[in-house]
Chains A and B, each alone.
Chain A
């Protein structure tokens, strides 16, 4: 078997005295969509933040294509091929859509700017219509598209998404997930953290269920969808 693209090996992390992650092990292989689902406060976002060094993992290893990234400076992590669409979107509200995309290229320089921007606009035609607009005036769904687009601008080997469905209307969530499917078809590797278990598991090749900072279950997306416990806890079944 080839080396996994991202491997979390017994990673623990804590905020002060509160342990948020307890020896979590997760693997994401090249070309896969892997999702992590769980309730509020299960540690999902912490897990993503820990990959980005905030907080640092208190123990365990985070391997990106075999290289341990758990100790390298935070601002260098994104230049290794990781990009994140953070929770709550966190776009630059007072910059235009195009400028936001430009900021996405910091890790790799702006050599591919034009080409990649066209790609993002092809994925999200709405952004193209609004490219001169302040990002803060976009709707929630458009902002989420922008956050994903911005992350794509650094040509990541692995795209990390933190709750792209957060606060969006069901119809928009559907659209976003359809686009994620498209991105994945082009060979991207996606690690998706979601509360919307139904959508996430439908999209994903494999999934993990996180509860109280521990991985409780794992399996293919369909297996987890069919799982009684998962249905009961996360799918309202």
Chain B
């Protein structure tokens, strides 16, 4: 078990451990070495030494473990290019997929309201993750302001109903188109940018949208937010009493009034949209535009010399991602019934990005799992809510060590025509 390999050097290990212990000693000296006792100060000089000793042994142990077979399997990440595994034939397990989709569709009829709302939130993040995955995972354009499109979608529903009288069903395509055009608007100025520069500009874009929503009080309601109406089903309303001339949903079907029906409706529509979007994204990758996205991620110069129109490719990636984000926004607004700019901060962008990175850049299934995990885990860990961000950060660090290419690294089918 503890057979170390040839690279292991006892001398190097001890030197590393001594250095680590020294740093630990210096670090712990002011923290544990000095005790406040009322107004007096007591020294507890032995404590830093004990802690430093623990660090020394721990460092030695780590050094030994990473040189064993077990440790190598645990710690050594796969090489950079091993990241994308190209699968030759379709090996999708169709029957499993059907089972999952079927469970997804019947779930709301057996679920409590609480878990239904959690599921809606999870699906919203799945949608956001799918959208950002197109931009970051496939086209390789690091977008730190993705929340902007989410906000555009949410506000186009809330403000659309306020000023244009749009309902939920008209708001869906409206928000999709509006968000997609915002994606294109962001796309134009950043066509020539790469990497860090692109990230900063998109970050700025996300903040600009939030600040506009926050400060254009006359139009958006500013920090007071805007309310979004409840969705309707073929004109049936989900409130206790319908507006003039309408029939509430529960009366029509002779049911008792409950708020769960509206969530069931939102859930079902959302689930359908997620299924369709998953299929669309999977299909797009097989198509020339999807190939072009991936080629762009790999090498832009090569793309241009091969005759790929990088303007079209970049703008389509931004628009496609933004459109999906916008759809997620509509569901968020419908689910909350009320939105304000504080839901669309940079933290939200970071969370969506974390979903994409944790899931595996470019991996559709990975992103879905990551989104579900990252929304449901905090609910399960309510008792540890103080440590939520700590756990979040630690899991990120561990992921980067063990699975640097994400939970389910991108595996894709070989392009069809090869």
Contacts and interface: CB of A to CB of B under 8 A. Distances in A.
Interface of A: 52, 54, 73-79, 83-84, 86, 90-96, 98-99, 101-104, 106-107, 110, 113, 117, 132, 134, 136-137, 150, 154
Given A75-B309, A92-B295, A102 B418 contact: yes
B299 to A, nearest CB: 5
Contacts of A93: 81, 298-299
Interface in B60-89: 80-84, 86, 88
Query: Ordered nearest first, which 10 A-B pairs have the shortest CB separation?
Result: A136-B81, A78-B307, A107-B307, A98-B418, A90-B302, A92-B298, A75-B309, A94-B84, A84-B305, A90-B299
Contacts of A91: 299, 302
Given A98-B414, A102-B291, A113-B417, A92 B299 contact: yes
B86 A96 contact: yes
Contacts of A90: 299, 301-302, 305
B294 interface: yes
Contact of B86 (A54, A73, A134): A134
B306 interface: yes
Nearest to A48: B305
Contacts of A96: 86, 414, 418
B84 A134 contact: yes
B116 to A, nearest CB: 39
Contact of A52 (B83, B88, B295, B304): B304
Interface residues of B, number: 27
A185 B55 CA distance: 69
Nearest to B299: A90
Contacts of A54: 304
Nearest to B294: A95
Q: Which of B82, B295, B302 has the most CB of A within 10 A?
A: B302
B81 A134 contact: yes
A95 B307 contact: no
A99 B417 CA distance: 8
B248 to A, nearest CB: 54
Nearest to B410: A94
A134 B79 CA distance: 12
Contacts of B298: 92-95
Contacts of A74: 304
Given A90-B299, A95-B298, A78 B418 contact: no
Interface string B382-418: 0000000000000000000000000000000011011
B273 interface: no
B218 to A, nearest CB: 43
Contacts of A110: 417
Contacts of B250: none
9 contacts: A75-B308, A92-B295, A93-B299, A95-B415, A99-B86, A99-B414, A110-B417, A134-B82, A150-B306
B48 to A, nearest CB: 48
A182 B309 CA distance: 32
B3 to A, nearest CB: 29
B88 A132 contact: yes
